[in-house]
């Protein structure tokens, strides 16, 4: 993507910047969203008209208290892979911006991303891919490179700074120039730790092709979870990008089991749940030791599926449900 860019430390802020620029560029206020894009007013406004709007994208039951009522009807959600929903939004509202994650729990249906791109182009809508989480996990850059669909703007963070605060907002020159027609600025944008960390991280990622390593490791972890589940007669659903894999045990007690896994694995020195953000330090030896430690915990879960009371095993309350894509 040839064009302009800006950096700031925080992803939620970068998302607010991107929406401001995209609204300025399209000259239209209404935004269609699919995914999680931070905590700011522009995004939470989706719940003003219907408290369930963000349930499938972030968390159920989010109160938009403190978000001005005047923002009602400015942001509309559509479900991933539901092109008809996006088409309806565009037909019924004057949508100027589409902001979405390229892939969530599951990959895109055949032609979905291409159709979103086509709709955006046909209607003069600015298409933003929020790759804060997906970036550098499967390609050297965005997931959109894998699918061959170009957005008008894209956001990168997380892996790009390897833990340091940095997010990049990039876009086509003609769209990014709209930033000159509004006011966006912050004292800390000249802070150098985040950008320095990102430059070094980019070097190391490129040198080591880390996205290939973490993808292969993530697939191995999935295999490991699947083998353990089979061994203990449990049914699991797998989800996420390979490098951001997760599983859900098919049971009404899934959340209690997730809590049990964390409790038992902490006792063995692992901070673990039902998902993993793979890094290049997850070596085969560490992975083998992890799966060995997890084996008896799956055994305990199988006992519970066969009648043992899981709450009797828990030393604390059952964990709250996490973000919509991490349960």
Ligand X SMILES: Cc1ncc(COP(=O)(O)O)c(C=O)c1O
Q: Point out which residues bind ligand X (CB under 6 A).
A: 10-12, 15, 35-38, 101, 130, 132-133
In the complex, minimum distance from the CB of residue 109 to ligand X, in angstroms, rounded to a whole number: 20
Burial annotation 289-314 (CB, 10 A radius, 16+ → b, else e): ebbebbeebbebbbebbeeeebeebb
Torsions phi, psi for 77 (to 5 deg)? -85, 150
Nearer to ligand X, 167 or 210 (CB): 167
CB 100 within 8 A of CB 34: yes
In angstroms, the CA 274 to CA 290 distance is: 13
Of 193, 194, 217, 197, residue with least CA distance to 205 = 197
Nearer to ligand X, 33 or 294 (CB): 33
CB 124 within 8 A of CB 22: no
In the complex, minimum distance from the CB of residue 321 to ligand X, in angstroms, rounded to a whole number: 15
Nearer to ligand X, 11 or 137 (CB): 11
Nearer to ligand X, 96 or 194 (CB): 194
Nearer to ligand X, 38 or 218 (CB): 38
Q: Which long-range contacts (CB under 8 A, 24 or more apart) does 60-64 make?
A: 60/321, 60/324
In the complex, minimum distance from the CB of residue 216 to ligand X, in angstroms, rounded to a whole number: 23
Nearer to ligand X, 10 or 265 (CB): 10
In the complex, minimum distance from the CB of residue 130 to ligand X, in angstroms, rounded to a whole number: 4
Query: Which residues are CB-contacts of 11 (< 8 A; sequence separation ≥ 6)?
Result: 38, 132, 155, 157, 158, 167
Nearer to ligand X, 96 or 240 (CB): 240
DSSP state of 26: H
CB 14 within 8 A of CB 22: no
Token pair belonging to 253: 């007690």
Nearer to ligand X, 15 or 215 (CB): 15
In the complex, minimum distance from the CB of residue 202 to ligand X, in angstroms, rounded to a whole number: 19
**Pairing mode of beta strands 3-8, 126-130:** unpaired
Nearer to ligand X, 35 or 246 (CB): 35
In the complex, minimum distance from the CB of residue 323 to ligand X, in angstroms, rounded to a whole number: 7
Torsions phi, psi for 143 (to 5 deg)? -65, -25
In the complex, minimum distance from the CB of residue 141 to ligand X, in angstroms, rounded to a whole number: 15
In angstroms, the CA 216 to CA 145 distance is: 18
Burial of 110 (0-12, 13-18, 19+ CB in 10 A): exposed
In the complex, minimum distance from the CB of residue 133 to ligand X, in angstroms, rounded to a whole number: 4
In the complex, minimum distance from the CB of residue 309 to ligand X, in angstroms, rounded to a whole number: 34
């Amino acid at each position: 993507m040839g064009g302009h860019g800006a950096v700031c430390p925080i992803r939620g802020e970068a998302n607010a910047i991107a929406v401001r620029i995209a609204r300025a560029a399209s000259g239209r206020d209404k935004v269609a969203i699919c995914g999680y894009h931070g905590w700011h007013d522009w995004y939470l406004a989706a719940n003003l008209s219907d408290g369930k709007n963000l349930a499938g994208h972030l968390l159920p039951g989010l109160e938009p208290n403190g978000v001005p009522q005047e923002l009602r009807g400015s942001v509309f959600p559509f479900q991933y892979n539901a092109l008809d929903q996006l088409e309806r939004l565009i037909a019924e509202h004057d949508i100027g911006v589409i902001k979405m994650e390229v892939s969530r729990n599951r990959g895109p249906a055949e032609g979905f991303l291409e159709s979103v791109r086509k709709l955006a182009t046909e209607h003069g809508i600015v298409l933003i891919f929020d790759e804060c989480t997906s970036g550098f996990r499967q390609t050297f850059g965005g997931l959109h490179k894998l699918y061959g669909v170009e957005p008008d703007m894209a956001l990168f963070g997380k892996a790009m700074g390897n833990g340091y605060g940095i997010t990049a907002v990039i876009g086509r020159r003609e769209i990014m120039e709209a930033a000159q027609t509004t006011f966006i600025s912050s004292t800390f944008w000249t802070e150098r730790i985040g950008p320095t960390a990102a430059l070094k991280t980019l070097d190391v990622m490129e040198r080591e092709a880390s996205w290939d390593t973490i993808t292969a490791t993530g697939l191995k972890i999935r295999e490991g979870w699947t083998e353990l589940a089979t061994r203990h007669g449990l049914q699991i659903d797998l989800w996420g990008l390979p490098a951001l894999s997760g599983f859900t045990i098919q049971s009404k007690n899934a959340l209690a089991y997730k809590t049990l896994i964390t409790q038992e694995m902490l006792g063995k020195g692992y901070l673990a749940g039902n998902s993993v953000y793979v890094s290049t330090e997850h070596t085969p030896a560490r992975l083998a030791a992890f799966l060995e430690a997890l084996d008896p915990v799956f055994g305990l879960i199988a006992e519970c599926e066969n009648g043992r009371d899981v709450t009797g095993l828990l030393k604390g309350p059952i964990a709250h449900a996490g973000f919509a894509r991490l349960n």
